[in-house]
Structure 1
Amino acid sequence: MVKKSLIFVAVMGLMLSSCSVSKSARTQRNLFSGSWTLDNIRYENNTGNFKSTIFNDAEDICFEGSDWFFRDNNSTGRYTISQSTLCSGGDRFFRWSVVEPSQNYSSQLQFKFIDSNRKDISGGVGYRLNIASLSEQAMVLKSNVSVDGELVTIVYEFSKK
């Protein structure tokens, strides 16, 4: 009986440690938590004027000034776009996490769209943004896209509310 209990405790410990989040990821999650404003979207690694549809949702101009909220205790959030002639306003809900860095990338914000009842509405499709910088006051996220075979980096600059 003691042997079975030890094995059970060892297996549970292994399972919990394999699912745990590193201290670095926990720190980043805590920094994300709260309300942010997306102040600016700009483009790097290429020249010219760019206009893009962000997250298969709206044009880049619609995201400037949008409000973002990250809740770290249940990994949900939302962003709100203001209604205008170019933009379909309203709340968009998502489930998010911080992905640990690897050899190929730095830490990343990962999210996928959900409905107001927290059900997946994206068919499992999600987005990853590289975390270029993150502090209690500001964050910069980046994503690389290909435009006519050329790499363009979309830079998202946020300030904490």
Structure 2
Amino acid sequence: MMKKLMLLSVVLLPLLFASCNAPKGVPSTKGTANLQKTINGPWLLNTVTYEDNEGKFTSILFNDADASCFEGTEWYFRNNNNTGSYIIESSDNCSGGERFFRWSILNTGQLQFKAIDSKYKDISGGLGYRLDIANLEDSQMVLKSRVSVEGEPITIVYSFTKNQ
């Protein structure tokens, strides 16, 4: 029994410390306040791509719209009240309009957000999303989320540039 406990401790302890590290591309010296300051402002979501699997994928992002509807969307993050919005253009495939969200950055190097209305009320029933911050610089941001499709892992990659 003691031997199993010791082995479990040896296996879990490194995992605990590894999970506290900032993701690659996000300087560990930046605290969440500095990351929030960097993310503050207008961003353009240039591309939504997929890693870790091959093929053509169709996906509904954030329980909202097809991934193709998000390419070219303008996002705005406000760090003074942790709210933001993105605008999807109307098309045959996309229901256009402005969507609002409340966001924060976790110590794990993740951006989390949930849908709200224009009066800052939760409209998601508590449902939210967490994206890994793979890279965040003054002019570029890359967010990633790991999902499973038919039991196979896929990483969705969101590549942004800062609008000046």
The bucket for the TM-score relative to the shorter chain is 0.7 to 0.9
Q: Which residue of 2 aligns with 1:145?
A: 147
How far residue 51 of structure 1 moved from its aligned partner, in angstroms, is 1.1
How far residue 23 of structure 1 moved from its aligned partner, in angstroms, is 5.8
Q: Which residue of 2 aligns with 1:104?
A: none
Aligned pairs, number: 135
Q: Is 1:26–2:33 an aligned residue pair?
A: yes
Q: Please list every run of at least 4 consecutive aligned residues from structure 1 whose deviation after the TM superposition is greater than 2 angstroms.
A: none
Q: Which residue of 2 aligns with 1:13?
A: none
Identity of aligned residues (%): 56
Q: How is 1:2-21 mapped onto 2 (pairs within 5 angstroms)?
A: none
- Unpaired stretches in structure 2, ≥5 consecutive residues: 1-28
2:138 to 136, 139, 149: 136
**Higher relative contact order, structure no. (Cα contacts within 8 Å, ≥ 6 residues apart):** 2
- Unpaired stretches in structure 1, ≥5 consecutive residues: 1-21, 102-106
Q: How is 1:46-125 mapped onto 2 (pairs within 5 angstroms)?
A: 46-101=53-108, 107-125=109-127
Residue 154 of structure 2 aligns to which amino acid in structure 1? Answer: V
Residue 98 of structure 1 aligns to which amino acid in structure 2? Answer: I
- How big is each residue's C-alpha offset from its partner over 1:34-87, in whole Å with a ceiling of 9 and x where there is no partner? 000000010000011111000010000000000000000000000000010100
Length-normalised TM-score, structure 1:
0.82
- How big is each residue's C-alpha offset from its partner over 1:89-136, in whole Å with a ceiling of 9 and x where there is no partner? 0000000000112xxxxx000000000000000111100000000000
DSSP-derived class of the 1:35 partner: strand
Q: Between Structure 1 and Structure 2, whose CA radius of gyration is higher?
A: 1
Cα distance in 1 between the residues matched to 2:66 and 2:118: 23
Distance of aligned partners of 1:43 and 1:23 in 2 relative to their CA distance in 1, 3 Å threshold: closer
